Amino acid sequence: MTDLATRTAPPRDGALRRAAPALLGYAAVRALGLVVLAMWSAARGKSAYTLLTARWDALWYTRVADLGYGYEVRLPNGDVHSNLAFFPLLPWLERLLHAATPLSYADAGFAVSLLAALAAAWGIFAVADHVYGRGAGVCAVLLWAVLPVGIVQSMAYSESLFTALAAWSLYAVLAGRWLTAGTLAALAGLTRPVGLAVVAAVWAAGIASFGRERSAAAAGAARADERAPAPSADRPSGRATTHKSAPEPPRAPGIARRVTAMLVAPLGAAGYVLWVGHRTGKGPLGYLDVQAGWRNGFDGGAAFARFVADKFTSFPSALAGAGLVAGVALVVWLYVVCVRQRQPLPLLVYAGVVTALALCASSYFGSKPRLLLPAFPLLLPLALALARLRVTRSALVVAGVAVSSAVYGAFWLNGSGPP
């Protein structure tokens, strides 16, 4: 894998200026999506703002912010939908912003989402710029903005907040800022269950760094032994003279920070899961029971495979099945390309865990595209290819895809939408 310190981090005072083209491009794409959504919704007699802030998961988050945990819905089939399934960081921020401003909880959720989306775009740029350079960073942000489900980035959902925390945690790992990485990983763990992916990335990077240092120390000791003179046996007494062994190399700096980061990283997710287990009285696995009430679980993709196979039993649903197969194949192919391009280990671990949890979960299958939204390292191969084109050509490509994404997002949100 490539070394973590592949590029020198830009000075802090120039970081925003360096990221400005990416952030302006991102804001333009998302503004286009919101304008198209507003026009489409108005034509159908619906409120675009309601679609963004008061439907599906957004309602559950605002209810947690307003009334706290403990609310549940019992369905006729016996399923129990509890708001304990929703991690607390977004509701906490909604409550804080509501208390500090005249904004309602829904307004606060929308504001947090917009700010978090910009922070996520900046974090994605920082990671891609650090690994591949500024051009790839700009293209990575634009590709993330024009994803077909990119409209979710502007909803009062937790995807944007989670992606922001994940991206900046990964950047902190790449830049060697371990305490920052661990803290952001803990906050990501308070945002979504997939926060485990950020924790895994921090741990993988920490363990790999210890392994590299141990190998380097062993290689240094071996070279020192080779340079050491042989014992002398030509003294009159016949006793061989002894030489002091080479001093052990000093311990690399930052070990305490890395260990601390690895200990802090899982505290967010672990703390919430254990709290849910205590509240439900079902112990450490209580959160799994809560998710089971939503028919969420990890079955290795068996339920998803059956869902796709069922599509091929009739026509035209077979076309949808073929599209799903093509989409999964594309995601897997992109990950293979990421490995072949030798992305840094934390990016590969993070993207791999996010992808596995999204594709292999037994949750509602219509949610899978948005569950893949935080897996931005999968876009880096495409960003590299786009960055190699002429600026005019790449701008035309992005503009065309942005229009298509805006239209699809408006159609999707006015229809089945992202449950």
- pLDDT, one tens digit per residue, over 3-34 is 444 455 566 558 889 999 999 999 999 999 99
Q: Lowest mean pLDDT of 119-123, 167-171, 414-418, name the range.
A: 414-418
Joined together, the tokens standing for residue 269 give 């997710």
Q: What is the dihedral of CA 187, 190, 127, 147, to 10 degrees?
A: -150
Print burial letters for 168-189: b (CB count within 10 Å at least 16), e (below 16).
bbbbbbbbbbbebbbbbbbbbb
Q: For position 321, what pLDDT does the model report?
A: 86
* Position 300, amino acid: G
Print burial letters for 283-312: b (CB count within 10 Å at least 16), e (below 16).
eeebbebbbebeebeeeebebbeeebeebe
209 to 4, 212, 214, 313: CA distances (angstroms): 9, 5, 9, 50
Question: DSSP letter at 151?
Answer: G
8 Å CB contact between 6 and 344:
yes
Instruction: Provide DSSP, 51-79.
Output: HHHSSTHHHHHHHHHHH-S--EEE-TTS-
Contacts (Cβ under 8 Å, ≥6 apart) of 237: none
Single out the residue of 40, 63, 42 nearest to residue 109, CA to CA.
Answer: 63
Single out the residue of 56, 157, 133 nearest to residue 380, CA to CA.
Answer: 133
Predicted model pTM: 0.89
Q: Is the pLDDT score of 156 beyond 90?
A: yes
**Long-range contacts of residues 67-70, Cβ cutoff 8 Å, at least 24 apart:** 69/279
Three-state DSSP at 71 gives coil
Q: For position 230, what pLDDT does the model report?
A: 54
Tokens 């449950």 correspond to 419
Distance CA 167, CA 124 (A): 6
Strand 80-82 relative to strand 72-74: parallel, antiparallel, unpaired?
A: antiparallel
For residues 332 and 250, which has the higher predicted lDDT (pLDDT)? 332
Distance CA 62, CA 207 (A): 39
Q: Provide the terminal-to-terminal Cα distance of the chain, rounded to the nearest Å.
A: 37
For residues 351 and 300, which has the higher predicted lDDT (pLDDT)? 351
Distance CA 98, CA 108 (A): 6
Q: What is the mean pLDDT of residues 303-327?
A: 87
Q: Lowest mean pLDDT of 97-106, 124-133, 315-324, 353-362, name the range.
A: 315-324
For residues 182 and 212, which has the higher predicted lDDT (pLDDT)? 182
8 Å CB contact between 54 and 62:
yes
Residues pairing with 81 in the sheet? 73
8 Å CB contact between 281 and 275:
no
